Amino acid sequence: MIRIVLPAHLRTLARVTGEVAIAVDPPTTHRAVLDALEASYPMLRGTIRDHVTQRRRPFVRFFACGQDLSHEAPDTALPDAVTSGAEPLLIVGAMAGG
């Protein structure tokens, strides 16, 4: 299972209080994980990626294992520690004022 930590506003939309865990068939790429997340929580469609372009929204960031993975291509595999469930994928609202 892939562990995902959502930012507070998206936890509210998804009606969850803690981490979410989703099953993803390999290869566990960014795209595959986000597809699975949106399939389990369709209310998150459009909030992390643009509906049409599927590009990451500018003020959303992806962190894992102490690294910023935000700029990796959608078909890049996530770190093994995320794939194994040892570490969560953090979806973060960027610090941008407000």
Partner 1 sequence: MSGVRVLVGTRKGAFVLTSDAKRKRWDVAGPHFGGWEVYHLKGSPADPNRLYASQSSGWFGQIIQRSNDGGTTWEQVGNAFTYASVPGTHQWYDGTPHPWEFARVWHLEPSLTDPDTVYAGVEDAALFRSVDGGTTWHELAGLREHSTGASWQPGAGGMCLHTIVLDPADAQRIYVAISAAGAFRSDDGGSTWRAINQGLRSEGIPDPTAEVGHCVHRIAMHPSRPSVLFMQKHWDVMRSDDAGDSWREISGDLPSDFGFPIQIHAHEPDTIYVVPIKSDSEHFPPEGKLRVYRSRTGGESWEALTRGLPQEHCYVNVLRDAMAVDTLDSCGVYFGTTGGDVYASADSGDSWGPIVRDLPAVLSVEVQTLP
In the complex, which residues of this chain contact partner 1 (CB under 8 A)? 7-10, 13, 43, 45-48, 50-52, 57, 59-60, 93-94, 96, 98
Backbone angles phi, psi at 51, to 5 degrees: -55, -45
β-sheet with 60-64: strand ranges across: 20-22, 2-5, 89-93, 60-64, 67-68
- The answer to whether the beta carbons of residues 65 and 87 sit under 8 Å apart is yes
**In the complex with partner 1, which residue's Cβ is closer, 48 or 82?**
48
User: Closest approach of Cβ 63 to partner 1, in Å?
Assistant: 15
User: Closest approach of Cβ 65 to partner 1, in Å?
Assistant: 23
User: Closest approach of Cβ 64 to partner 1, in Å?
Assistant: 19
User: Closest approach of Cβ 56 to partner 1, in Å?
Assistant: 11
- The answer to whether the beta carbons of residues 74 and 30 sit under 8 Å apart is yes
**In the complex with partner 1, which residue's Cβ is closer, 73 or 96?**
96
**In the complex with partner 1, which residue's Cβ is closer, 51 or 71?**
51
* Helices and strands: H and E segment counts in the chain: 3, 5
